[in-house]
Structure 1
Amino acid sequence: MYRPKSTLEQWRILQAVIDCGGYAQAASALNKSQSSLNHAVSKLQAMLDVQLLEVVGRKAVLTDAGEVLLRRSRDLTQTVASLEQLAVNINQDWEPEITLAVDLAFPRDILYKALVPFLPNSRASRLRIIDTVLTGTSDAIVDKTADLVISLNVPKGFLGEPLTNIAFVLVCSPKHELASTPHAISPDTLSQHLQLVIADTSPTPEETQGWLKSENRWTLSQFDSAIDLLLQNIGFCWLPVHKVEDLLTTKRLQRLTIEGSEFKQSSSFLVVTQPESKGPGVRLLEKLILQQRQIDLPCYENL
């Protein structure tokens, strides 16, 4: 039988050195001495006969081989963490805490209708709800930092149940210069004005979604902050229809039309990040959220 040369602890230490930005920071995060971390990584390299790190200036950086092995080691440690969590779920009646990540654009009234019946049946399990945006929502799925994620995008390798469609419209104040344009606005004209954008919650955002052509941008963390600025005749912004419907009806905000674009629409999905080890609390919350979905599903009964 094969006996591993390395240990999970050694791989976790290597991960910490990279994630924390060095041995000193990793030692503080792990509450270990810096010398013990140096020894663990050196021993790991010696046993594998592969150089994982090299010192550049005062910082230890990964070699090409180190990058490959570190990436695979994350899969290994995540699998062990999932296995241990599964054992906990099997050994207890209910999860002590459930984390739900929700994309900021998702209509909260749908979510709240699921949370009302969840409360009396949650057996005092703590529920942590995290607001996420764009890449930050995908990170919560890929990194499995949440048990359930409501996302506008399902990353490769995961499955999601459709919940509802979310329409986005371009809006500004009726007093804004753009509001007086009698025809569809060209993207070039739009790019000359201040755009309000909602910040991506990922530490490494990927600006691959949305119209971001305007160089003059203010970045905000919430849709409500953007709406407040719009009402002060500051900028334009893409916003979910459900957030501004009343303001459009009362003409406190005005919808704009861009050449070739009336509106944007995205689908939202519920993703269980670790379906093989979900506990009873996650299963219940998943069921209650899916009961509130507002989308017509195809019927395959007669196929």
Structure 2
Amino acid sequence: MYRPKSTVEQWRIFQAVVDCGGYAQAAEQLCKSQSSLNHAVAKLQQGLGVPLLEVRGRKAYLTPEGEVFLRRSRKLTQGIEELELLAGVLASGWEPILRVVVEASLPRQPLYQALADFSPRSRGCRIHLVEAQPSGCQAVVNKQAADLVFACRAFSGVTSLPLATTVYIPVCAPEHPLARFDEVTAHELDSELELILADGSEQEEGWERAEQRWIINHLHDTLSLLRRGVGFAWLPLEVVAPMIDSGLLQRLPMANQALRKRFTHLILPRPMPPGPAASLLLSLIRHHYGDHETTPIGENTASSNYREGTLPAP
């Protein structure tokens, strides 16, 4: 079994002697006797078998080996300080992990912006960001297996907050036969292949008259197939707009200007109010989604009350 030959306190004393320029100055700063500092550094060097300092007159100078150990020891003591600070943070109720689940078909730029703002204030809290299909989101909510869930629908019995409206448009590759039409009707879509972003575990929403459907589990796969001229799909305008602008995809000009809209709901699956880290992230999410259109969806799903209390204000 490995037994350390040094202590954290010895490394801190070694660093103080270097930073202060000598034992006497370090002793004054640390409120310790000079002899105790001499003893600590001597024992450290003896245990390592490497000279770290040499004294010339009243000043201590680093040896070449000491320069290497000084850099490494600073990382060590900084890590110890961070561990001790983290212990205090967790003792105060700050969550060590936040699990965030996002439905695959939803755009998430405001969420990314919120997470970017959360990162420097996270105080060691880790984020687990998971993409799921509608049935997966429902399972997570039922099991209370996440702190935050972004979904296209609200769920009964849990807190739900409408965040934004997402517009879905039909798109295909520029070389797809549908791209030749100046105006696309339901008749033209009758026999065309539609790519449905879903998991196939339930009756999936698609173009009502489409006879052929492929169920695709990931947005990346859907976009890759579309760019290769395979089928058409209804996808979020925010997601496909850059690809339309660059000519990689083409928006289908529907005869009746048909659009689909879905709401982004923020679901809090657990009955207890969120902790301090979740509350911070929640306020940042509400702030960034505030720049997006939010449409009322009725009292039942728009209600943001807990069984006891309300959602934290942004």
Q: TM-score over 0.5 for the alignment?
A: yes
Shift of 1:167: 0.7
Distance (Å, rounded) in 2 between the aligned partners of 1:220 and 1:125: 33
Residue 153 (structure 1) aligned with residue 148 (structure 2):
no
For residues 209-228 of structure 1, the aligned pairs below 5 Å read 209-211=205-207, 213-228=209-224
> Does the CA-based 8 Å contact 1:194-1:217 persist in structure 2?
yes
Corresponding residue for residue 138 of structure 1: 138
Corresponding residue for residue 259 of structure 2: 263
Moved more, 98-107 or 215-224: 215-224
Q: How many residues align?
A: 206
Residue 107 (structure 1) aligned with residue 107 (structure 2):
yes
What secondary structure does 1:209 align onto?
coil
Corresponding residue for residue 193 of structure 2: 194
**Structure 1 residues 141 and 117: alpha-carbon distance in aligned structure 2, compared to 1, 3 A threshold:** same
Corresponding residue for residue 237 of structure 1: 233
**Aligned partner (choices 283, 292, 295) of residue 293 of structure 2:** 295
> Does the CA-based 8 Å contact 2:165-2:294 persist in structure 1?
no
Distance (Å, rounded) in 2 between the aligned partners of 1:164 and 1:216: 31
Corresponding residue for residue 246 of structure 1: 242
> Does the CA-based 8 Å contact 1:142-1:155 persist in structure 2?
no
Shift of 1:137: 2.1
Corresponding residue for residue 280 of structure 1: 276
Corresponding residue for residue 81 of structure 2: none
> Does the CA-based 8 Å contact 1:103-1:131 persist in structure 2?
yes
What secondary structure does 2:106 align onto?
coil
Amino acid at match of 1:194: L
Shift of 1:265: 0.9
Distance (Å, rounded) in 2 between the aligned partners of 1:121 and 1:147: 18
Please, what TM-score do these two structures have when normalized by structure 2? 0.59
Shift of 1:171: 0.7
Structure 2: gaps (5+ residues): 1-88, 297-314
Structure 1: gaps (5+ residues): 1-88, 299-303
What secondary structure does 2:99 align onto?
strand
What secondary structure does 1:98 align onto?
strand
Amino acid at match of 2:250: Q
Amino acid at match of 1:135: S
Shift of 1:148: 0.6
Percent identity of equivalent pairs:
30
Amino acid at match of 1:295: E
What secondary structure does 1:196 align onto?
strand
1:156-205 deviations in Å (ceiling 9; x for gaps): 2223222221111111112211222343322x5423122212233xxx83
Distance (Å, rounded) in 2 between the aligned partners of 1:165 and 1:267: 5
Amino acid at match of 1:271: I
- Looking at CA atoms only, which structure, 1 or 2, has the larger radius of gyration? 2
